[in-house]
Structure 1
Amino acid sequence: MSKPFDMKLFLAGVLTGSQATRRRHLRQATIIQAAIAERWQRETPWVWQRKHLDWFLKSRLKQRSDDTRYYYLLTVRLIVRRLEASWVFGI
């Protein structure tokens, strides 16, 4: 039996800011992780591709406000920085 993926540990090196900001990023990253795992059965960010995050930003946040999409975009950028990828996303 494998351990569940620890998003807090994954983002620990790139999380900055206040405690509220850190909690928001962790909460949003967990939501992103669950959505991608449900849709593509990709449990960890290490196996994600750019298309997975792009799908989340475009499809799952389609009905959300601009502010909400912006905050999720910031979280996606943290994930990309942690993966050391050069993916660029826009809203």
Structure 2
Amino acid sequence: MRKPFDMELFLAGVLTGSHVTRKRHLRQARIIQKEIAERWQLETPWAWQRKHVEWFLVHRLTQHSKATKYYYFLTVRVLIRRLEKSWKFKQIL
């Protein structure tokens, strides 16, 4: 039996800011992970490609407010920093 991926441990080195901000990033990162895992069966961020994250930003957030999209965009930037990728996304607002 595999242990579930620990997003909190994964992001621990790059999360900064207040307690509330860190909790929001963790909650949103788990939601992104869940959505990508359901769609492409990729359980960990290490397996993600740019297209998977872009799909989430474009297709899963279409009905959300501009503020929510912005906060998810910030969480994606934290994930990209942790993955040490050079992915660029247009800010979706």
SS at match of 1:15: coil
1:20 partnered with 2:20: yes
* 1:33-48 correspondence runs (5 A): 33-48=33-48
SS at match of 1:22: helix
Task: Show the counterpart of 1:74.
Answer: 74
Runs of 4+ in 1 over 6 A off after TM superposition: none
| Residue 89 of structure 1, CA deviation | 1.1
Task: Show the counterpart of 1:61.
Answer: 61
Q: Distance in 1 between matches of 2:62 and 2:89?
A: 15
Give the share of equivalent positions with the same residue, in percent.
71
Q: Distance in 2 between matches of 1:10 and 1:62?
A: 27
**1:41-68 alpha-carbon deviations (Å, 9 max, x no partner):** 0000000000000000000001100100
Q: Distance in 2 between matches of 1:51 and 1:89?
A: 10
Give me the CA root mean square deviation: 0.4
SS at match of 1:17: coil
| Residue 28 of structure 1, CA deviation | 0.1
Structure 2 residues without counterparts, runs of 5 or longer:
none
Task: Show the counterpart of 1:50.
Answer: 50
Aligned residues: 91
